[in-house]
């Protein structure tokens, strides 16, 4: 049980004053299910590693972070102690990462290049430490 709660603990702890600027958290995740904007879902087994670094965090955990994955890093905002964590990877998208359980996250990727669409990934994650 202690291992299962490590992801939620990592995100929650990162978003508190106990983890000041510079405390990096790495989450090793597998996409278990992916759904399109119409609600059609299917199994998925793609791996993704998120690296989250606090930059300017307030006493309640809200503030600015950097998120890195796939070889690129982006400015990210956290609005509360456990999310949502929000960032953009371009001018026409919004990415949202939300903890949903001790070792699960929901990643919503909205895009409006030609029309508003979204992809939702259900993730199972672990702290690789």
Cβ-contact 95, 109 below 8 angstroms: yes
Q: What average pLDDT is seen over the chain?
A: 84
Given a cut of 50, is residue 8 above it in pLDDT?
no
Domains of the chain: 6-126 (2.40.128)
Q: If you average pLDDT over residues 4-13, what whole number do you get?
A: 46
Find the DSSP H helices in 1-129.
Answer: 6-14
Cβ burial, residue 129 (10 Å; 0-12/13-18/19+): exposed
Q: What is the pLDDT of residues 57-102, one digit of tens each?
A: 887 778 999 999 999 999 999 988 778 999 999 999 999 999 999 9
- Measure the CA–CA gap between 76 and 86, rounded to whole angstroms: 6
pTM confidence score: 0.81
């Amino acid at each position: 049980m202690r291992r299962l709660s490590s992801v939620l603990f990592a995100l929650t702890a990162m978003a508190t004053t106990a983890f000041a600027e510079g405390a990096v958290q790495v989450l090793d995740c597998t996409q278990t299910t992916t759904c399109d904007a119409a609600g059609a879902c299917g199994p998925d087994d793609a791996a993704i590693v998120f690296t989250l670094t606090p930059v300017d965090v307030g006493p309640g955990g809200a503030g600015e972070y950097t998120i890195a994955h796939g070889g690129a890093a982006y400015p990210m905002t956290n609005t509360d102690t456990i999310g949502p964590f929000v960032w953009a990877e371009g001018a026409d998208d919004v990415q949202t990462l939300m903890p949903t359980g001790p070792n699960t996250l929901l990643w919503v990727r909205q895009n409006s290049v030609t029309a508003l669409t979204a992809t939702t990934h259900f993730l199972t994650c672990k702290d690789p430490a």
